[in-house]
Amino acid sequence: MSSAAPDPTAPATRIGAVTYLNTVPLVRGLQAQLPMAELSFNYPSRLADELAEGRLDVALAPCIEVARHPEWSIVSTACIGCRGPVLSVKVLFRRPPAEVRTLALDEGSRTSAVLAQILLADRFGTRPRLQPLPLASSPLDSTADAVLVIGDRAIRPVQGDFREAWDLGEEWVRETGLPFVFAVWAARPGIDASELEPAFDAARDLGLRELETIATEQAAAMDLPRPLVLQYLRDNLNFYLDDSARRGLDLYFRRAGELGLISDHFNLRFHDCHVER
């Protein structure tokens, strides 16, 4: 961090973070690192929209949206990802996966919505018709053959007439042998990101040191078993955008481009961000 005192007359940096359990370790000490910033929380899809519309300066943005907005810069090695089962991103199937013709997509999702389509196309050559699953709706409200759910509600036990569930982190790693990255800290053009990388990295490192405390607090708040919450934060999630995670991200973008879900001509933009190797 810079030793210079923050300018109290400068506009506050507007930072948006995800309103899910998986983000708590990334923002545990963020306000202390960036005391002049305005921190708000929302669903991943809405954060992407707010960043694109200029209502946020920086957001924990869905990775697929970084590809759709090449003017954005990745400003930290802190991320939300996985190296195996992720627990909080699932596709629930009413029919055998090879027979899925309709897929309902959690409206909070952007990255996982594309990941589900990639996996179905790769395994079975299918392109299901897409339907929205509103944020306020239960998967049981959808009549689709398969339903994508993400975030805290995906952690809870599956109910209803679903015959099978895919953990998309597990399925991706099984297919590719590479980690997956769901979200990264991204800034819109014109933002001074010089203090952001060390702040985001330091906040992550503090959060990881305090996982035991976070698990106790969040288990009580969410009415979930503490061992499950701790396992999720410590074992299921990966918070480092290292070289292997970057390779997984590159492959994901390539497959999304081949399916026409993003442009296949773009370059990720890093703002002096050291990707760990």
Strand 102-106, strand 129-133: pairing: parallel
pLDDT of residue 158: 84
What letter does residue 184 receive in the DSSP assignment?
A: E
Q: Across the 277 residues of the chain, what is the mean pLDDT of every consecutive 10-residue run? A: 53 96 98 96 98 98 96 96 99 98 98 99 98 96 98 93 97 98 97 92 98 99 98 99 97 96 75 47
pLDDT of residue 2: 42
pLDDT of residue 264: 75
pLDDT of residue 6: 54
Sheet bearing 14-18, strands edge to edge? 38-42, 14-18, 58-62, 180-187, 73-82, 238-240
pLDDT of residue 1: 43
Q: What superfamily does domain 89-176 belong to in CATH?
A: Periplasmic binding protein-like II (3.40.190.10)
Give the gyration radius of the chain's Cα atoms.
Answer: 18
Q: How far apart are CA 130 and CA 264, in angstroms?
A: 22
User: What residues contact 246, with CB distance under 8 A and at least 6 apart?
Assistant: 181, 275
Record: fold of 14-81+179-258: D-Maltodextrin-Binding Protein; domain 2 (3.40.190)
Both tokens of residue 183? Answer: 């979200």
Location of each CATH 3.40.190.10 domain in the chain: 14-81+179-258, 89-176
pLDDT of residue 11: 81
C-alpha pair distances (Å), 215 with each of 192, 234, 240: 34, 9, 19
pLDDT of residue 193: 87
Strand 14-18, strand 58-62: pairing: parallel
Q: How far apart are CA 109 and CA 224, in angstroms?
A: 23
Q: Which of 172, 205, 188 is nearest to 75 (CA)?
A: 188
Q: What angle do CA 158, 87, 122 make, to 5 degrees?
A: 95
Tally: H helices and E strands in the chain: 11, 11
CB 87 within 8 A of CB 230: no
pLDDT of residue 7: 58
The alpha carbon of 121 is separated from its chain's Cα centroid by a whole number of angstroms, namely 21
